[in-house]
């Protein structure tokens, strides 16, 4: 049971219509890409240096959370080089033969984008080592003692790998990338610029205050910002005159259960269950997940990273614990014996209600 595709604040790609709209909103050039200034500057040097030398650029690894623009940057890299882009993903490459089929059909200088590269099968991963370094694949013919490896040269290409879990990449694979970039979450001011740009492309009239309100609830993620903008637009078209002002934006986001810090129904359910049913913790992940009717992986991967980043939940050796900020945000009074944890996961006792933020 995975609630992620149905969540408005999900950073995963939605259905076909959503993907078409998101593709239309993607910037096409590096100069038009908003945010990630250091990454953009570094990547620009890598690409333009290769173009001047007439060489294929080094392989590029992009890491960071979903929805931060890794796929967009891969498309921009191909566009800046004037080369075709081939798109695949780690989970789609189950065998070494799958990878060999892709690599053997690449044209010289083509850009290959592998999303979620850390989920690639081990045999394919080992074949990729040689392909990235020597532009060669070894095709095994036959089985058992009589099997023979036939080296097959492939055209020089640029691999752009994307991962949400860089720590799961084996060292030998990570070391073969000539340029590695980590993409950070966006500041509200950057998201506001993105929202205004998307509003122009979607012919949405939105005030500066409304754009700032949507940006502040977008969890630091451009994809979520664009999705919230489209839902606010829908609300404005159906229940108003189509113009998005501050009050209308707040009303729309309230309807969609996205609060002023970007928490949605699942986020609040996790926190409320932790507080009301378990006295603030510590409680194990599986127990907490059952209490909200979700799979442990959904809570751990979907809700927890944002709650931890917001300082509302802490992971401790004894289990999940609500922070003082969580009690204050939901307006729930903690029991006198409630354990507390700071953002680093250090447990401490709450001596007085005055210790709560805002008291």
Task: Show me where the domains of the chain are located.
Answer: 36-182, 188-255, 265-355
Is 71 annotated in the active site? yes
Catalytic residue among 223, 227, 230, 268: 223
pLDDT of residue 72: 93
Structure tokens at 240: 């108003």
pLDDT of residue 356: 38
Catalytic residue among 115, 219, 267, 298: 115
- The one-digit pLDDT tens for each residue of the chain (359 residues) are 333 445 556 556 555 666 667 777 888 899 889 989 999 999 999 999 999 998 999 999 999 988 899 999 999 999 999 999 999 999 998 888 888 888 988 999 999 999 999 988 888 888 888 888 889 887 766 565 656 667 788 899 999 999 988 888 888 888 899 999 999 999 999 999 999 999 999 999 999 999 999 999 999 999 999 999 999 999 999 988 889 999 999 999 999 999 989 999 999 999 999 998 888 878 999 999 999 998 988 888 888 888 998 889 988 888 899 888 899 999 988 877 666 665 555 555 444 443 333 33
- Quick one: angle between helices 188-201 and 222-239, nearest 10? 50
pLDDT of residue 318: 85
Structure tokens at 344: 């680093």
Pairing label, strands 148-153, 136-141: antiparallel
Is 115 annotated in the active site? yes
User: CATH code for 188-255?
Assistant: 1.10.8.60
Catalytic residue among 164, 221, 298, 323: 164
Q: Where are the beta strands (DSSP E) in the chain?
A: 60-63, 85-89, 111-115, 136-141, 148-153, 158-163, 179-182, 205-206, 243-244, 313-316, 319-322, 339-341, 347-349
Alpha-carbon distance of 63 to 75, in angstroms, equals: 15
pLDDT of residue 12: 60
Query: Given 1.25.40.10, 1.25.50.20, 2.40.160.60, 1.10.10.10, which CATH number is that of 265-355?
Result: 1.10.10.10
Catalytic residue among 71, 72, 158, 298: 71
Query: Given 3.40.50.300, 2.40.37.10, 3.40.50.720, 3.40.366.10, which CATH number is that of 36-182?
Result: 3.40.50.300
Catalytic residue among 7, 70, 219, 268: 70
Alpha-carbon distance of 115 to 213, in angstroms, equals: 31
Is 29 annotated in the active site? no
Could you give the maximum distance between any two Cα atoms of the chain, in Å?
Answer: 76
Alpha-carbon distance of 237 to 13, in angstroms, equals: 24
């Amino acid at each position: 049971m995975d609630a992620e595709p149905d969540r408005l604040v999900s950073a995963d790609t939605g259905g076909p219509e959503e993907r078409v709209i998101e593709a239309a909103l993607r910037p096409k050039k590096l100069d038009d890409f908003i945010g990630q200034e250091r990454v953009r500057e570094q990547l620009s040097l890598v690409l333009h240096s290769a173009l001047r030398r007439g060489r294929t650029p080094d392989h590029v690894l992009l890491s960071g959370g979903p929805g931060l623009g890794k796929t967009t940057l891969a498309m921009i890299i191909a566009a800046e080089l004037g080369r075709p882009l081939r798109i695949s993903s780690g989970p789609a490459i189950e065998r070494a033969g799958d990878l060999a089929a892709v690599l053997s059909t690449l044209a010289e200088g083509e850009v290959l984008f592998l999303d979620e590269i850390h989920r690639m099968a081990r045999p394919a991963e080992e074949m990729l080592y040689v392909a990235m370094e020597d532009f060669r694949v070894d095709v095994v013919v036959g089985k058992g003692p009589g099997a023979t490896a036939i080296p097959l040269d492939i055209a020089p290409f640029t691999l752009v790998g994307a991962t949400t879990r860089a720590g799961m990449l084996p060292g030998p694979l990570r070391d073969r990338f000539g340029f590695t970039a980590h993409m950070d979450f966006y500041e509200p001011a950057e998201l506001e610029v993105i929202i205004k740009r998307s509003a122009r492309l979607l012919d949405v009239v939105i005030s500066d205050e409304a754009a700032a309100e949507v940006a502040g609830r977008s969890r630091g993620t451009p994809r979520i910002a664009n999705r919230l903008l489209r839902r606010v637009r829908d609300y404005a078209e159906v229940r108003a005159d189509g113009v998005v002002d501050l009050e209308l934006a707040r009303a729309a986001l309230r309807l969609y259960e996205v609060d002023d810090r970007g928490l949605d129904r699942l986020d609040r359910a996790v926190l409320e269950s932790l507080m009301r049913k378990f006295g603030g913790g510590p409680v194990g992940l599986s127990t907490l997940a059952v209490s909200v009717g979700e799979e442990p992986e959904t809570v751990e991967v979907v809700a927890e990273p944002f709650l931890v980043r917001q300082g509302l939940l802490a992971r401790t050796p004894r289990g999940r614990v609500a922070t003082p900020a969580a009690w204050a945000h939901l307006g729930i009074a903690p029991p006198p014996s409630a354990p507390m944890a700071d953002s680093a996961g250090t447990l401490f006792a709450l001596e007085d209600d005055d210790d709560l933020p805002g008291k």
